A and B are shown apart, each in its own frame.
Chain A
Amino acid sequence: MATGPDRSNYLTTGRGVLSWLFTLDHKRIGVMYLVAITTSFFLGGVFALLVRTELLTPGQTIMTADAYNKMFTLHGAVMIFLFIIPGIPAALGNFVLPLMLGAKDVALPRLNLTSFWFWMIGAVFALVSIIVGAVDTGWTFYTPYSTTTGTAVISMTLGVFILGFSSIFTGLNFIVTIHKMRPEGMTWFRMPLFLWGLYSTAIIQVLATPVLGITLLLLVAERALGIGIFDPTLGGDPVLFQHFFWFYSHPAVYIMILPAMGVISELVSVFSGKHIFGYRFIAWSSIAIALLSFLVWGHHMFTSGQSGITNMIFSALTFSVAIPSAVKVFNWLATMYKGSIRLAAPMLYVLSFLFLFAIGGLTGLFLGALSTDIHLHDTYFVVAHFHYVMFGGTVIAFLGGLHYWWPKMFGRMYSERWAQLAALLVFVGFNLTFFTQFVMGSHGMPRRYYNYVEEFTTLHQASTVGSYVLALGFFIMAGYLLHSLVRGAPAPANPWGSATLEWETTSPPPAGNFDVELLAGDPYDLDALRYDPGVGGWVRKDPRSILVAAGGAG
């Protein structure tokens, strides 16, 4: 679009629904994932608003206690398994990863499409379970309740089992693509940091998800056949389920946060107008987090009867995760230091991320400490911590990345003014919703409760109002983003002044991504670019420096 009407791009190459559903183009698969996960986010958001509305008053407000149990379970299951796990890797990652490599596609395009189809099939199972009676176990499916409740646990867990394969296929594809398809000049330590984030995420997806798979298969076999592995009445052990579940589900929270950290690493450099600070530390800290993530699952089970020594080991390992996380935060701050910061919408999300993730991360240490965890476990403090990391971290970074790559994906600019308003509403609404929950939790309000003592009424109502503000922010965002697709100004190839390779092709890119073979240099060498008012975007000072055919200047 930017280079004239005669230029076809990946959106216009091939028409009709089938040309999308059976495409092998990573960009189209990424866009389909984007539609799919934002739909799930909307659905999970509606469940969340119903939960918050019910909690406006003690006792019954709008639904029965049973309906409430189903609502918070569905909110958790939909948000975790349908939205946030595939979120950044499958939607943004799929679109951006081959472009960042200057490649035509991911290494295994058919597997990529299979991954999307598995997501769809898994989502159908999850939706069926919602229709035929929902699930009331909480998203963690703890036995023995999950094997005895009358709700549609089999359908939901089979859905999650299938979604797991979708996640494995994405991770496997990314590992192979990053190993085998890097362009000339891109050594491991010249990769954009988003790719380090995706790579470390992929390691966890591939190594942890199969364990969730077998766990859920055992759970299904338990319900369907009475296999008895987790059922004490048949000689099984319900605590074993918790070990299995968290062996996946703790690493899974790093599946959610690591790609988000990768997004932030890209954005913070570009919008500070500075080379990223401490590249190698950020890259290695991603790998360190991925490896440590496998060694801390026991901190979800401090009160399950583990031995004291086990608790101490898991507590110490949990603290150690703070080191690579803090390494990243300090490097981002150092990148901003003395930079020329542009407060465009993506950067607003970066600042939100740094603030919220710092709170989320530090409160994680409160919960990792054995003595305070005894007081705080299963209270709203845990809920607030989790949302500060997952929403304040992952979702905020996802929104930042979405606003950053939106012009590349669709070739249109959105309204910056509305985007800033939405970012502000999301930030304010989020803090109002969840900071109150830290306070409630530390005063003993248990999580997942339908009812509460009257002393908590004010805080609960503030939290609910916050969730409405948050929802308003998202409605505005949906409005201006959809509007931009129709009325947005055409986007230049490089609207932000970024030095990574995805900005070297047109916005939106052609079906084959690049017309020429690219030579990768330093992905954060922003000085190689200058603003060209004629194009309305940034161009290379020396265009030949990144061409393989021209010999490149390096």
Chain B
Amino acid sequence: MAAHHHEHGHDPSVAHHFESAEQQRQSTKLGMWVFLATEILFFGGLFVAYTVYRVNHPEVFVFGAYFLDTALGALNTVVLIFSSFTIAWAVRAAQLGQLRLLRWLIIATMACAFVFMGVKYVEYSAKWKHGLLWAGSYNPHLEHGDEPAAGHGEAEAPSSTTGAPEAGAPADPDRSTIAPAAEGPHGLAAPAVAADPHAMPVEPANARVFFSIYFMMTGLHGIHVLAGIAAMLWLLRCLGRGDFDGGRFTKVDMVALYWHVVDIIWIYLFLLLYLID
């Protein structure tokens, strides 16, 4: 729009087809909210898949969550909540024209995003090392005492013979291997953890589905974190260009809204994936 000449003595930061800066800001904001609604629905598909499988096979989730590192997940949750605070403050700083502060707040938010991705890298590599991958590549091999989830003490290597066919085996249309829903008042199979609450549960059939869902959900979320980092780099460029002079804050506001949604989704992921007991 910068290419257009501006009639009617328009403010140069207002595109030619808008009447006023306020109309432009309102339009951008509504557009962003609608976009965030599409993001929620995009993740919504995965949340539905999660719900369907968890209701039908709760034992798979109890087993899978045992291998997620709650401490690292909690650390990431704290990091993201803190970054939500810094980006919200950044919006305020932009409104008040505190541009130096704005720069540091954007950098702080980005730093949080990098910490998050770093922690995620540590978690993913542990999963990779132990073969705790999505269904098609699921091949758990835990050595004694080399078990990722801290605080679970003496762990036995889980039995990897689940009765499920090998990964990559051709589909047999005549034989479904969907495990029947477990029965019982809570839909739970016979509880594997009897005496020692820290002992590793026995691996149920199709435990691999948990890791499929885990990697899809956290992976897609991670891509959104990377997009957030890109958005904040863009904000720094806009800042250098003088886009935020005179208290203009719409762009910071939009990125902040996006970032809050990324945070909220993570909070749900943390609750739903890590805190299963």
- Using a CB–CB cutoff of 8 Å, the interface residues on chain A facing chain B are 24, 98, 103-111, 144, 147-148, 168, 172-173, 175-177, 179-181, 206-211, 213-215, 217-218, 221, 225-229, 231-237, 240, 244, 512
B159 part of interface (Cβ distance < 8 Å): no
B49:A180 contact, CB within 8 angstroms: no
CB within 8 Å of A: which B150-173 residues: 164-165, 167-173
B216:A109 contact, CB within 8 angstroms: no
B177 part of interface (Cβ distance < 8 Å): yes
B31:A107 contact, CB within 8 angstroms: yes
Complex contacts, B34 vs chain A, CB 8 Å: 172, 175-176, 206
Q: Name the CB-closest residue of A to B39.
A: A210
Complex contacts, A172 vs chain B, CB 8 Å: 31, 34-35, 38
Complex contacts, A181 vs chain B, CB 8 Å: 17, 23, 27
B30:A179 contact, CB within 8 angstroms: yes
B34 to chain A, nearest CB (A): 5
Complex contacts, A106 vs chain B, CB 8 Å: 17
Q: With A111-B31, A227-B136, A240-B52 given, name 18 new contacts (CB 8 A).
A: A107-B31, A144-B171, A168-B38, A175-B31, A177-B27, A180-B23, A181-B23, A210-B42, A211-B42, A218-B45, A226-B135, A226-B167, A227-B135, A229-B216, A233-B171, A233-B172, A235-B135, A236-B209
Q: Name the CB-closest residue of A to B23.
A: A180
Complex contacts, B39 vs chain A, CB 8 Å: 210
Complex contacts, B250 vs chain A, CB 8 Å: none
7 contacts between A and B (CB under 8 A): A176-B34, A179-B30, A210-B44, A214-B46, A221-B216, A225-B134, A227-B216
Q: Give per-residue flags for B26-44: 1 if the beta carbon is below 8 A from chain A beta carbons, else 0.
A: 1110110011011101111
Complex contacts, A225 vs chain B, CB 8 Å: 134, 136-137
A180:B30 contact, CB within 8 angstroms: yes
Complex contacts, A104 vs chain B, CB 8 Å: 16-17
Q: Name the CB-closest residue of B to A103.
A: B17
B205 part of interface (Cβ distance < 8 Å): yes
Q: A108-B27, A218-B216, A234-B167 are in contact. Are A229 and B209 (CB under 8 A)?
A: yes
Chain A interface SS verdict (over half)? helix
Complex contacts, B168 vs chain A, CB 8 Å: 226
A213:B42 contact, CB within 8 angstroms: yes
B178 part of interface (Cβ distance < 8 Å): yes
Complex contacts, A176 vs chain B, CB 8 Å: 27, 30-31, 34
A232:B177 contact, CB within 8 angstroms: yes
Complex contacts, B178 vs chain A, CB 8 Å: 232, 235-237
Chain B interface SS verdict (over half)? helix
5 cross-chain pairs, A with B, having the tightest CB-CB distances, nearest first:
A226-B136, A228-B135, A235-B206, A214-B45, A104-B17
Q: Name the CB-closest residue of A to B47.
A: A214
A207:B41 contact, CB within 8 angstroms: yes
A453 to chain B, nearest CB (A): 26
B195 part of interface (Cβ distance < 8 Å): no
Tell me the bound Cα distance from A106 to B16 in angstroms: 11
Q: A109-B15, A176-B31 are in contact. Are A148 and B164 (CB under 8 A)?
A: no
Complex contacts, B31 vs chain A, CB 8 Å: 107-108, 111, 172-173, 175-176
Complex contacts, B98 vs chain A, CB 8 Å: none
Complex contacts, A179 vs chain B, CB 8 Å: 27, 30
Complex contacts, A175 vs chain B, CB 8 Å: 30-31, 34
B19 to chain A, nearest CB (A): 9
The residue that B41 contacts in the complex, of A98, A110, A211, with Cβ under 8 A, is A211
Complex contacts, B60 vs chain A, CB 8 Å: 235
Tell me the bound Cα distance from A231 to B43 in angstroms: 20
B209:A234 contact, CB within 8 angstroms: yes
B120 to chain A, nearest CB (A): 18
A290 to chain B, nearest CB (A): 14
B271 part of interface (Cβ distance < 8 Å): no
Tell me the bound Cα distance from A218 to B53 in angstroms: 15
B208 part of interface (Cβ distance < 8 Å): yes
A235:B43 contact, CB within 8 angstroms: no
Tell me the bound Cα distance from A147 to B136 in angstroms: 13
Complex contacts, B42 vs chain A, CB 8 Å: 210-211, 213-214
B158 to chain A, nearest CB (A): 16
The residue that A227 contacts in the complex, of B15, B35, B52, B212, with Cβ under 8 A, is B212
